Structure 1
Amino acid sequence: MTVEQVESWSEGIAGLHARFARRFGRSEPRDRALDYMTGLLAPLEKKNGWTLAEQVGQLRPDGVQRLLNHSEWDEDAVRDDVRDFVMETIGTKDGVLVGDDTGFLKKGVKSAGVQRQYSGTAGRTENCQIGTFLAYASPKGRALIDRELYVPKSWTDDRDRCRAAGIDDTVPFATKIEHLKWMLQRAIDAAVPFAWVTADEAYGQVKHFRAWLEERRVAYVLATKVNDTVTTTDSRDARVDELIAALPKQAWKRLSAGAGAHGQRIYHWARVAIRPFWKDGYGHWVLARRSLADPTEISYYVCHGPVASLLKDLVKVAGARWQVEECFQTAKGECGLDHYQVRLYRAWYRHITLAMAVLAYLTAVRAAEAAKGAAEMTSTT
């Protein structure tokens, strides 16, 4: 991102900031939030308190720290305003909600929720915090619309430690599955337009989560492990890999799961109806993705959706899951999502929310530019 782009976009981001200006109790934190968002857009190697303060002409990071730690403002209301902005700019009825978590490497033991735990970001066990996120993906773009900080039992079992990090006694231990349920329920209650939910196998293999979605008539394509079992028509439990292995050769179709960094993501795909009777117009399938280069490399999905859903529809949703990874990459690389230096629980939410707002703004700009380019191309043909 060039300096010229930042200067231009910082003017535009004031419009997004104005949407949630009422969420701040006083003018000082309100103005500081706009400075903070502008700083997150800047081409800085590190976007922490010191560098963001310097970017807006402050000698010390005191104002930035006060904004995140002590100022009076409602970060959850800002989150909702950001979500509404995303819906206005890229929302479509065929949108996909994508759940996933990401790690934030940390030093020390005082940052809220930090401990040695597995981080998919690092690919190993590290001292880190884990955030659970909900992304929204549509043909117009993708952005993060909700977030929760994972607070392990090692913390919730030690309330003195929690209080020192600003974690209220009312904050319970909650799994990442419960986080995703909370975020999906908020999206449903807010009438977010979407057609499907997708997530990786850490979420997809949890049967009570699948049942929770079905109770709400939410269609899903969820990755799962090779030895997961599903209930078939004759009320027996069958392994997903065995159901797929029984399919004839012609059941496999060569399809793209969408464009990636290196072109179309093309695989062989197949599905099998696991309960070929329909309830309220919805049915269930097992979906499989097979590598073109190595036919023994197969990934599995459990699916629930409208009876009219085609194989290509399920493939499209499965492919949409990668868009949350692209959200993380952009948010960390361009919006400072992982550059924070805060310890308090509420400060984490505040930084993450403002970084999500910046990502939403960039998403809107890119969607507008894409629409303009498409219109210009149409007018010349």
Structure 2
Amino acid sequence: MAAATTLAAQRWPHLLNELTATVIGPNLARPETRTTARDVLAALLGPLTRKNCWTPAEHAGHPAPYRIQHLLNWARLDVTAVAACLRGYVIRCLGSDDVVLVADETGDAKKGAHTVGVARQYTGTSGKIDNCQVAVYLAYTTPDAHALIDRRLYLPRSWTKDSQRLRSAGVPADVGFSTKPELATQMIAAALEHAPGAWVAGDEVYGRDPDLRAYLEEHRTG
């Protein structure tokens, strides 16, 4: 066990380099920004008790958080393309046999009213209605491992009915209201193109949705 742990510790920096080069790197124009992206990932995987722009910067040996702030706030990144690259990377690493796609949402509590999608809504994170931002995620699971491969931000109707609020938050003009099962269906459809034999799992929010069930039955998905 100790030898296996030591081998894993030796390999993971190389795997992180591979992940950065194949998934994120092609979608960032400047090499300095690609290096910063690797530093952020390494910090997120590290044993930091708090993770904000300052702590990853200190973890990476940066004198200030400005490079990380630039990456998160101003660097141009096609997140849809990154998600597609990530999906392909995970499928290559974990394989396409005995796959279950798991849809579920999680919430992040927020204090103000300006974070995109924030509203008074239920979140399982606190187990109650709270001021929060909610997103739906899709996990790719095999008997040996699992990884998140896609995400969709949930926008309540209070947002999608307010064009000025959407514009101020930088939401694309063509984004409309979608239920959480509809967001899950979008992600499942993209994943099934690469893992057509996968099964799908989710809690009652998804299992009881007639449109999602009809989609899965139409595509002969368990």
Distance across 2 between alignment mates of 1:176 and 1:169: 20
Distance across 1 between alignment mates of 2:55 and 2:65: 8
Structure with max Cα Rg: 1
Aligned position for 1:38: 42
Note the residue ranges of structure 2 that are not aligned, 5 or more in a row: 1-7
Matched residue type, 1:9: W
Which structure's relative contact order is higher, taking Cα pairs within 8 Å and 6+ residues apart?
A: 1
Quote the offset at 1:9 in angstroms.
Answer: 2.9
Aligned position for 1:288: none
**3-state secondary structure, aligned to 2:121:** strand
Residue from 85, 88, 95 that aligns with 2:99: 95
Aligned position for 2:113: 109
**3-state secondary structure, aligned to 1:89:** helix
Percent same amino acid at aligned positions?
Answer: 43
* 1:103-146: CA deviation from partner (whole Å, max 9, x where unpaired): 11111111110111100121111111111011111112111111
Aligned position for 2:155: 151
Distance across 1 between alignment mates of 2:198 and 2:178: 27
Residue from 86, 91, 107 that aligns with 2:90: 86
**3-state secondary structure, aligned to 1:97:** strand
Aligned position for 1:192: 195
Aligned position for 1:15: 18
Task: Check 1:80–1:53 CA distance in 2 against 1; reply closer, same or farther (3 A cut).
Answer: same
Q: TM-score if structure 1 supplies the norm length?
A: 0.54
Contact 2:197/2:221 (CA < 8 Å) preserved in 1?
no
> How do 1:141-290 and structure 2 match up within 5 A?
141-189=145-193, 191-192=194-195, 194-219=197-222
Distance across 2 between alignment mates of 1:206 and 1:73: 33
> How do 1:300-339 and structure 2 match up within 5 A?
none
Distance across 1 between alignment mates of 2:168 and 2:62: 29
**3-state secondary structure, aligned to 1:127:** strand
**3-state secondary structure, aligned to 2:89:** helix
Distance across 2 between alignment mates of 1:42 and 1:192: 31
Quote the offset at 1:193 in angstroms.
Answer: 5.0
Contact 1:156/1:172 (CA < 8 Å) preserved in 2?
yes
Number of residue pairs matched by the alignment: 215
Note the residue ranges of structure 1 that are not aligned, 5 or more in a row: 220-381
Distance across 1 between alignment mates of 2:107 and 2:129: 10
Determine which structure has the larger strand proportion and give its number. Answer: 1
**3-state secondary structure, aligned to 1:130:** strand
Q: TM-score if structure 2 supplies the norm length?
A: 0.90
Quote the offset at 1:11 in angstroms.
Answer: 4.0
Residue from 73, 79, 91 that aligns with 1:75: 79
Q: Is 1:119 equivalent to 2:134 in the alignment?
A: no
Distance across 2 between alignment mates of 1:6 and 1:107: 39
Contact 1:10/1:41 (CA < 8 Å) preserved in 2?
no
**3-state secondary structure, aligned to 2:90:** helix
Aligned position for 2:3: none
Q: Quote the RMSD (CA, aligned, Å).
A: 1.9
Matched residue type, 1:200: D
**3-state secondary structure, aligned to 1:117:** strand
Matched residue type, 2:215: W
Distance across 1 between alignment mates of 2:201 and 2:111: 32
Quote the offset at 1:158 in angstroms.
Answer: 1.4
Quote the offset at 1:203 in angstroms.
Answer: 1.0
* 1:145-179: CA deviation from partner (whole Å, max 9, x where unpaired): 11001111111111222222221211111111110
Runs of 4+ in 1 over 4 A off after TM superposition: 5-8
* 1:178-212: CA deviation from partner (whole Å, max 9, x where unpaired): 101100111122x2254311111011111222112
Distance across 2 between alignment mates of 1:25 and 1:194: 36
